[in-house]
Structure 1
Amino acid sequence: MIDRGLTLPALRHQLVTAVLTLAASGLQDADFDPAPHLATLLTDACDATAPVPWLGHTLRTPEEAALTADLGTALRAHLTALPPDPTLTDHLHAPTWPPITTTAAHLARLLLHNDHQAHTP
């Protein structure tokens, strides 16, 4: 893969961190707050509901965009299933949470692989 450079590398770092954190279910204890990670994926570093415009900015490949869209679908399903003003426990114990961690794990693998393979011409 030839990396022509991301225009928003600091936001790429935030994106990768958010995805890794969502994928690491071992870090998700009673004090885990998913809100900042969800904000990163839905507004700050990428729009997981429509990630294609982020190609070249915080996403490197169409495959990353496709998996990000899958994560966006899981996030939307999760957010709509939550009660109003959800607690941290509501997030982590919802039946819609495991698909988020699974999809995030697949995306994390791809993001890290692509970051390790990236080089400039």
Structure 2
Amino acid sequence: MTGPVLPALRHQLVAAVLTLAAPGLQDDAFDPAPLLATLFGEACDADDPLPWIGHTLRTGEEAALTADLGAALRTLLTTLPPDPRPTDHLHSPAWPPVTTAAARLARTLVANDHHTTD
């Protein structure tokens, strides 16, 4: 397994996914906007993650799980009012699938980083 070309962005991606996967970190001060920016632009494209393999994603499995998380986030965004507050995200019935998809991806990202030889 080779390392990502953009390791700083890999770190940013892993941190964003872990935060989405950790309901204990999500309180009234929680702001998902930077996490969404990371997942849909800065460190990856959760709508089209395959081109990110070798850059911030290591494997096809990571890309597939990133796409699953992207789909959950897009579903969430359709449930929100215009100009949502951070708590609108957390109170949406579409939020639990986001944390579940993020947890699956987080487990894979961390395992792949743990087992890498770089």
Query: Which range, TM-score by smaller chain?
Result: over 0.9
- 1:28 counterpart (3, 26, 29): 26
Q: What residue in structure 2 maps to residue 90 of structure 1? A: 88
Say how many residue pairs are matched: 118
The two structures have a TM-score, normalised by structure 2, of 0.97
CA displacement at 1:88 relative to structure 2:
1.3
The CA distance in 2 between the partners of 1:41 and 1:47, in whole Å, is 6
CA displacement at 1:80 relative to structure 2:
1.6
The CA distance in 2 between the partners of 1:88 and 1:40, in whole Å, is 16
The CA distance in 2 between the partners of 1:15 and 1:117, in whole Å, is 18
The CA distance in 1 between the partners of 2:88 and 2:96, in whole Å, is 13
Structure 1 vs Structure 2: percent identity of aligned residues? 70
Residue range with higher mean Cα deviation, 80-89 or 100-109: 80-89
Q: What residue in structure 2 maps to residue 39 of structure 1? A: 37
Q: What amino acid does structure 1 have at the position aligned with 2:43? A: A
Unaligned runs of 5+ in 2: none
The CA distance in 2 between the partners of 1:69 and 1:6, in whole Å, is 18
Q: What residue in structure 1 maps to residue 17 of structure 2? A: 19
Give secondary structure in 1 for the equivalent of 2:17: helix
Q: Does 1:56 align with 2:54?
A: yes
Q: What residue in structure 2 maps to residue 99 of structure 1? A: 97
